[in-house]
Amino acid sequence: MTIELLSPARNLKVGKAAISAGADAVYIGGPSFGARASAGNSIQDIGELVVYAHQFGVKVYVTLNTLLYDNELAEVESLCYDLYAAGVDALIIQDTALLKLNLPPVALHASTQMHNTTHERVKFLEGAGIKRVVLARELSIEQIRNVRAGTGVELEAFIHGSLCVSFSGRCFMSESIGNRSANRGECAQPCRNKYSLTDESGNVIIKDKHLLSLRDLNRSAFISDMIDAGVSSFKIEGRLKDADYVKNITAYYNGLLNEAIASKPGLKRSSSGSVDLKFPPNPDKSFNRGFTDYFAVSRNSNLTNPASPKSIGSEIGEVVEIKGKATRLKLLKGVELANGDGLCWISKSGSMQGSGVNTASLESEYPAGEYNQWLVELADNSDLQPGIKIRRNFDKAFTELVENDGSAIRSISIDLALKESPEGFILSGVDEDGIISEIRMICEKIPATNPDAGYQKLKEQLRKSGGTIFRVRNIEVLLDKDLFFKHSVLNQLRRDLLDVALKNRLNVYAEKQKVDESNNHNYQDRLKSHKKELQENSDISGNYPYSPDELTGKENITNKQAAEFYSEHGVDVTSVQMQSYKDSGMSDPNLPLMTTKFCLRYELGKCPVHQSTDPGFPKTLYLSNRDGRFRLNFDCKACVMKIYKAK
């Protein structure tokens, strides 16, 4: 079984950074129709990323995970062929219309936007020709295990990054508020805004806090458990993140996955190469809103950071004294501040404040040795008071170290052997994947005058591999007599051999792709082979089980092809409006704008089921801000919270 670390690629540069740090696959937006409208990339850039990635056996997936209108389907179909020609390994989709189009034999992955929360749903997608399903972020490890037990499709799960508070693909709040559809790649992120929590009479319970802004996901402590549960691809969220974030987080999980695999016989990484890092990976030093494992084992609280949706970094100490522009800090030993660092803190009013460091100097060590005293000048210290905890959310020195092009270098090991031929010499190589390459050179054989020195220089010249992806591991010299080699001859031999070795790696990958393509049966093939089962099972309980929780605008049917898809599987779609996404019922106050496993009552310690009941706490709650008033519904049986537009 192979294990994959899947990293985001905002663009070509970020994709290469992810690969250099250890990603086994990257996902990137195409020119259009990706769930991040601002993160599109040209076919040319994607093609260049594909070539770079395939050298290491790394895969490239392209996101086409928005809902589509009828007049866009022809363009999407053409785009799929362009991406296939560029060599991408899979397309990540949301709209089931793509299963009905005439697509090339490229693998299809079901985006988490398809609401992949149950094994019935995953089984349905597997039967329809989906190769991999991206599971909902909310699933616990036990729920993932249940999905695995009921299906054979590849399972991908999020391991790190920003969280959508709503079930993905089932959030219509942005569309309702500002006509910016999350399912069309235009989410305005209303969950990151401030809200006041009120009762039915308008009495304020909590005022102007980020009540729906979740902390970031971090399931690094559960990698081994997730592997055992059946996850084969570990996904880092962040297709809008810059290279330094992606490189740091990828390097961190690359190391953890290697450790987990080392303790589990029969597992290996899905790509090749080793990574040489010049920095210690640390997720606390990249953008984060604080971390949560988000129901990995059980329901928990402290899921939000009400003070701010911005990066909070990590706690480094506290304020000791303030004198004018100077601020004296007690910082953890080992923490070193630098000009340009960013500090933040929660003020006495409960809001997050921050400031850049203009100057910083170490004053003294505390006797206990756990802290050092620093004197700093901040751009603004007006909201600071003694005793306030200080966090660093931008570490300038660390960021500059990570941003350096040589901070993460990935290489393929290769063993070389030099031997004579009747006309000259043969240099052969076997890389870490067993791919054999050979180059022959016709040249004069010159006896060596200093065999020992010549032998050492020969090895030194052959070992040089700068500017290539290869790292020469072992060198074997198989000569019948001591010979002298000109440096130019050795350099040319080595360069030619490594050029051939690289071409051979790409050719081997291309051949593997052809084999994979033959297994990528499209939807029409599956539908034809299972036609008998579909006819015999009017309830569609065989290979195409479908069990929608509700079929309304929530099912995200926005074109005729998607409607036909569901209709072929026994779903009545006659009541679904498809003229445009805005017409799918989002103005109906009886339909939830958001459904979430996150529960505000539980977060506040007021859950009547799992926590002690507070008889004085209001049963009916509302969220309100400048965008409107929203009613909260607590479905305790399903253990979810729903948000409706207030009537």
The whole-number pLDDT of residue 299 equals: 92
**Measured CA distances, 267 to 259, 264, 301 (Å):** 11, 6, 34
CA distance 34 to 88: 15
Q: Is the dihedral of CA 159, 163, 167, 169 positive or negative?
A: negative
- The 10 Å Cβ neighbour count of residue 257 is 23
Q: What is the pLDDT of residue 604?
A: 94
Strands (E), 200-325: 204-209, 216-218, 233-236, 268-269, 274-277, 291-292, 314-323
Tens digit of each residue's pLDDT (9 = 90 or more) over 294-307: 999 999 889 999 99
Q: For the chain, what percent of residues have pLDDT higher than 90?
A: 69
Cβ(261)–Cβ(232) under 8 Å?
Answer: no
Do the strands 314-323 and 326-332 form a parallel or antiparallel pair, or are they unpaired? Answer: antiparallel
pLDDT score of 524 = 63
Residue with tokens 């065999």: 451
Terminal Cα distance for the chain, rounded: 53
Helices (H), 119-222: 119-127, 141-150, 173-178
Q: What would the mean pLDDT of 266-272 be, rounded to a whole number? A: 97
For position 578, what pLDDT does the model report? 53
Token pair 């050179």 in the structure block, residue:
441
| pLDDT mean across residues, the chain | 89
Which pLDDT score, from 0 to 100, does residue 346 have? Answer: 93
What confidence category does residue 350 fall into, taking pLDDT thresholds of 50, 70 and 90? confident
Percentage above 70 pLDDT, the chain: 90
Give the tens place of pLDDT for each residue, 114-158.
999 988 889 888 888 899 999 999 999 999 999 999 899 999 999
Here the tokens at position 551 are 């079929």
285 vs 170: which has the higher pLDDT: 285
Give the per-residue pLDDT at 600.
Answer: 96
Provide DSSP, 322-339.
EETTEEEEEEETT----T
Other beta carbons within 10 Å of 4: 22
DSSP state of 215: P
Helix (H) or strand (E) holding 504: helix 487-518
Instruction: Compute the distance between CA of residue 115 and CA of residue 136 in angstroms, rounded to an integer.
Output: 6
Q: Which residues contact 8 (CB under 8 A, 6 or more apart)?
A: 14, 18, 26, 27, 28, 161, 236, 237, 238, 239, 241, 246
Query: Does residue 541 have a pLDDT over 80?
Result: no
Least reliable range by pLDDT among 30-44, 125-139, 410-424, 428-442: 30-44
Query: Is 163 in contact with 215 (CB distance < 8 Å)?
Result: yes
Q: How many CB atoms lie within 10 A of CB 477?
A: 13
Helices marked H in 169-264: 173-178, 223-229, 243-262
Beta strands in 72-153 (DSSP E): 90-93, 107-110, 132-134
Query: 75 in helix, strand or coil?
Result: helix
**Identity at 14, one-letter amino acid code:** V
CA distance 74 to 57: 32
Residue 590 has pLDDT above 90, yes or no: no
CB neighbours of 144 closer than 8 A, spacing ≥ 6? 135, 155, 157, 226, 229, 230, 231
Q: What is the 3-state secondary structure (H, E, C) of 35-69?
A: CCCCCCCCHHHHHHHHHHHHCCCCEEEEEECCCCC
- Quick check: 215 and 641 in contact, CB under 8 A? no
Q: What is the mean pLDDT of the segment spanning 409-426? A: 92
Residue 530 has pLDDT above 60, yes or no: no
579: pLDDT strictly greater than 60: no
pLDDT of residue 202 exceeding 70: yes
- Cα-only R_g, the chain: 29
Q: Is pTM, for the whole model, over 0.85?
A: yes
Which tokens is 78 given?
């053409």
For residues 141 and 159, give the distance between their C-alpha atoms in angstroms, rounded to a whole number.
12
* Structural domains in the chain, sorted by start: 2-163+215-271+279-285 (3.20.20.70), 313-399 (2.40.10.170), 413-514 (no CATH)
How far apart (Å, rounded) are the C-alpha atoms in residues 290 and 153?
Answer: 33
Closest-CA residue to 376 (of 345, 338, 346, 335): 338
pLDDT in tens, 212-256: 999 999 999 999 999 999 999 999 999 999 999 999 999 999 999
- Which residues is 292 bridged to in the sheet? 217
C-alpha span between 293 and 261 (Å, rounded)? 21
Among 290, 255, 349, smallest CA distance to 162 is for 290
Cα 299 to Cα 40: distance, rounded to the nearest angstrom: 36
591 confidence band (pLDDT: 50, 70, 90) = confident
Residue 548 has pLDDT above 70, yes or no: no
The dihedral sign for the CA sequence 626, 627, 631, 635 = negative
In whole angstroms, what is the distance from residue 366 CA to residue 372 CA? Answer: 6
Mean pLDDT of 177-191: 89
**DSSP structural state of residue 598:** -
Q: Is the pLDDT confidence value at 191 over 50?
A: yes
* pLDDT bracket for residue 452 (50, 70, 90): low
Query: If pLDDT is split at 50, 70 and 90, which confidence band does 455 have?
Result: confident
Residue 543, pLDDT > 60, answer no
Using the predicted structure, report yes or no on whether residue 545 has a pLDDT greater than 60. no
Residue in the block written with tokens 């062929």 = 81
At 353-376, the pLDDT tens digits run 999 999 999 998 776 678 899 999
Sequence-distant (6+) residues with CB within 8 A of 413 are: 274, 431, 432, 470, 471, 473
pLDDT higher than 70, residue 523: no
Neighbour count for residue 61 (Cβ, 10 Å): 23
Task: Say if CB 132 and CB 154 are below 8 A apart.
Answer: yes
